């Protein structure tokens, strides 16, 4: 069985918890996009973690965790995460780092600051866009280059020469030295160097041996570089369509496509968000839901569930099933609003507009459903959930036409109900 776990909103859907749970049965877990802009919250053996780069397979001794070619890797962060996890687990996670994954260099972060994209686009300032840009411009440094320091050195010298021409007034850029940069990267990589190899071949071999492979997405569908509300997006393909291309696998080999979404919406950074609420209501969702960025600590904007956006995300990913998370956060609301269409230029529309400028103008058209008073975070059997909860779930299923297979009512692994 091959499963892809995909975020269906603007990231932060609770994928970390779901992948951690499903990785238990996986032989291989492959992270297919993004870099340390992601923050997956996981509770493992009672300890809470925020991981940024290492896939969820790391928590299980017999599972290989692959950092694939679709990713961009910050070796300093990877090493810190590796050391921390090794200490927590008492063993060293089995990693495979794709030789063709790109490395985030210190100048990529510097470029983000110089260009002001943190301010304009609300990025995580982790050097993500400049690294993907260098990849497309063929001036990137790849993990495999570190195994051949002479090649890495040549590539770095070429890149620095270009940077020096582009930024003659930046002291930070002018002071960079290829030898120093390379030494630094090699020292961060240290014990991880033997894990660099041909990840695509390893994934194909896993398929051929009928192993249980899981693909783990980062960020969410609405942040996809092609299909999100550009330019308020991340720089990688966050959807199922991008997975095969960035890793080099034929898509029919992934049979289960599980879309993860939160029972309400959040967004962090800059960009349109039609169902955002304000004032006390937003504060209530943010406080109860703990809606602060794992990577940056920024408060997330909060709002009601947007089924227009969800239908679009499900269509793009061809989801075969869904996981709803953080349903417990909605306990205690008398009424819950769900957006089923938008009003745009005086007309009701049911399709998610691609252009950020149009999405900005969309007003949500809400349907209101009854809330439930009692907390549900201790419930472990979906048959014992209040009737209003199941009516809410049924409304979503009817609207989007895909079954909700997993219901999550808390951050702990036990607070998860699998439905037939």
Q: Which of 20, 40, 52, 227 is catalytic?
A: 40
Closest contact distance (angstroms) between CB of 8 and ligand IMP is 13
User: C-beta of 128: minimal distance to ligand IMP in Å?
Assistant: 4
Q: Does 126 bind ligand IMP (CB under 6 A)?
A: yes
C-alpha span between 326 and 343 (Å, rounded) = 28
Binding segment (CB under 6 A) for ligand IMP, from list 9-17, 137-145, 243-251, 408-416: 9-17
- How far, in Å, CA of 243 to CA of 110, rounded? 29
Residue with tokens 């400049």: 130
> Is 10 or 215 the residue whose CB approaches ligand IMP more closely?
10
Candidate residues 11, 140, 217, 272; the one interacting with ligand IMP per rule CB under 6 A: 11
CB 124 within 8 A of CB 37: yes
- Min CB(299)–ligand IMP separation in Å: 12
CB of 34 to ligand IMP, least distance (A): 6
Which residue among 14, 16, 36, 39 contacts ligand IMP (CB under 6 A)? 39
Q: Is 122 in the site for ligand IMP (CB under 6 A)?
A: yes
The site string for ligand IMP over 245-274 (x = CB under 6 A, - otherwise) reads -----------------------xxx----
Cis before 231 (ω within 30): yes
Burial of 76 (0-12, 13-18, 19+ CB in 10 A): middle
String of contacts with ligand IMP for each residue 216-245, x by CB under 6 A: --xx---x----------xx----------
Q: How far is CA 125 from CA 12, 40, 110, 113, 362, in A?
A: 17, 17, 9, 7, 29
List C-alpha distances in Å: 75 to 4, 103, 190.
Answer: 25, 7, 10
Between the alpha carbon of residue 164 and those of residues 167, 278, 386, the distances in Å are 5, 46, 63
CA distance 364 to 63: 44
Helix then strand count (H, E) for the chain reads 14, 20
Kindly tell me which of 291 and 328 has the beta carbon lying closer to ligand IMP: 291
- Pick between residue 60 and residue 273 the one whose CB is nearest to ligand IMP: 273
CB of residue 397 to ligand IMP, shortest distance in Å = 26
399 catalytic per annotation: no
Tell me whether residue 28 or residue 104 sits nearer to ligand IMP (CB atom). 104
Q: Which is nearer to ligand IMP, 129 or 156 (CB)?
A: 129
Query: What CA–CA distance (Å, rounded) separates 132 from 232?
Result: 16
257 phi/psi in degrees, rounded to 5? -120, 100
Phi then psi for residue 96, to 5 deg, are -135, 120
Decide: 118 and 112 in contact? Cβ < 8 Å. Answer: yes
- For residue 17, state whether it binds ligand IMP (rule: CB under 6 A): no
Nearest position to ligand IMP, beta carbon: 269
* Site for ligand IMP contains 313 (CB under 6 A): no
Q: What are phi and psi of 2, to 5 degrees?
A: -120, 125
Residue 255 annotated in active site: no
- Known catalytic residues? 12, 40
Interacting residues with ligand IMP (CB under 6 A): 10-12, 37-39, 121-124, 126, 128-129, 218-219, 223, 234-235, 268-270
């Amino acid at each position: 069985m091959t499963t892809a776990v995909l975020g269906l909103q603007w990231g932060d859907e609770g994928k970390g918890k779901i992948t951690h749970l499903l990785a238990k049965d996986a032989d291989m877990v492959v992270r297919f996009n993004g870099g340390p802009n992601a923050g997956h919250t996981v509770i493992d053996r009672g300890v809470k973690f925020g991981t940024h780069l290492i896939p969820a397979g790391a928590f299980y001794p017999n599972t290989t965790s692959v950092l694939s070619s679709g990713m961009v890797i910050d070796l300093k962060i990877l090493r810190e995460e590796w050391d921390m996890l090794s200490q927590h687990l008492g063993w060293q996670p089995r990693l495979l780092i794709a030789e063709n994954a790109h490395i985030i260099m210190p100048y990529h972060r510097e470029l983000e600051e110089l260009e002001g994209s943190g301010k304009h686009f609300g990025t995580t300032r982790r050097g993500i866009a400049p690294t993907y840009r260098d990849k497309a411009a063929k001036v990137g440094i790849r993990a495999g280059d570190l195994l051949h320091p002479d090649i890495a050195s040549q590539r770095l010298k070429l890149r620095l020469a270009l940077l020096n021409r582009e930024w003659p007034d930046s002291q930070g850029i002018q002071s960079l030295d290829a030898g120093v940069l390379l030494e630094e990267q090699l020292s961060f990589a240290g014990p991880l160097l033997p894990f660099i190899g041909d990840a695509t071949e390893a994934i194909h071999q896993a398929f051929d041996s009928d192993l249980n492979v899981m693909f783990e997405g980062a960020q969410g569908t609405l942040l996809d570089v092609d299909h999100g509300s550009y330019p308020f997006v991340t720089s990688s393909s966050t959807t199922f369509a991008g997975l095969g291309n960035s890793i080099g696998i034929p898509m029919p080999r992934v049979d289960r496509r599980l879309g993860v979404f939160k029972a309400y919406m959040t967004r962090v950074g800059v960009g349109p968000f039609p169902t955002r609420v304000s004032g006390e209501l937003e504060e209530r969702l943010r406080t109860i839901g703990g809606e602060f960025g794992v990577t940056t600590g920024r408060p997330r904007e909060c709002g009601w569930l947007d089924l227009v956006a969800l239908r679009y995300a499900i269509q793009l990913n061809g989801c075969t099933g869904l996981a709803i998370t953080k349903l417990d956060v909605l306990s205690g609301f008398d009424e819950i609003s769900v957006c089923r269409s938008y009003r745009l230029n005086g007309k009701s529309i049911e399709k998610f507009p691609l252009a950020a400028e149009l999405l900005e103008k969309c007003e949500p058209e809400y349907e209101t459903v009854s809330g439930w008073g009692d907390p549900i975070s201790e419930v472990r059997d979906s048959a014992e959930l209040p009737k209003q909860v199941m009516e809410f779930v049924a409304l979503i299923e009817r609207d989007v036409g895909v079954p909700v297979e997993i219901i999550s009512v808390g951050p702990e692994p036990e607070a998860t109900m699998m439905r037939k």
